Amino acid sequence: MGFSPRTETLLTRATQICDGRGVRLTDLRRQVLGLILDRDAPTGAYDLLDQLRSTRHGAAPPTVYRALEFLLEQGLIHKLERLSAFVGCIADEDHDHAAQFLICRSCGKVTELEDHELAHALEDAARRLGFTVGKATIEAEGQCAACAKS
């Protein structure tokens, strides 16, 4: 299964990240990550399974879920709870960074932000209530600029 040049570059970076952490990006994990990265929109687990079955006839739900779990643990993907779908995130920095997502209700496009001020505002508000934020993913729904114009 061939991926776009952009995705191949990101997969090479993901392999380097995993090697640096002493974990293995197996062929299956790489393929699942590539399928996610090659999409313009978030991808659900069963969509991934359908795509995998074109080259891995024995692929079953646990196969995909184990790969997704690894990719989440390594911070190579994010799960959008609202959509029950996954998006790629090959960052050079901390793999457990705070993420914010803008989800367009019209076209389904998802844009990831990494606004440190927003993350700090959430932490400060939580701290005032005696709560310590461990990890936070913010999902905001609305309309993207392209859809707002049409």
Angle at 89 between CA 121 and CA 23, to 5 degrees: 115
Token pair 């692929």 is found at: 59
Domain boundaries, the chain: 5-88, 99-149
Q: Which CATH number fits domain 5-88: 3.40.50.1000, 3.50.50.60, 1.10.10.10, 1.10.520.10?
A: 1.10.10.10
pLDDT class for 140, splitting at 50, 70, 90?
Answer: very high
Q: What pLDDT sits at residue 150?
A: 86
Is residue 61 over pLDDT 60?
A: yes
Query: Any idea what DSSP says for residue 92?
Result: S
Between 27-37 and 5-21, two packed helices, what is the crossing angle to 10 degrees?
Answer: 140
Instruction: Give CATH for domain 99-149.
Output: 3.30.1490.190
Residue 112 clears pLDDT 90, i.e. is over it: no
H or E, element range at 39 = none
Token pair of 74 as six digits: 């390594």
| Residue 96: per-residue pLDDT | 62
The tokens of 38 are what?
């090659």
Using one digit for the tens of pLDDT, what is the confidence trace for 70-106? 999 999 999 999 899 999 988 655 556 678 999 999 9
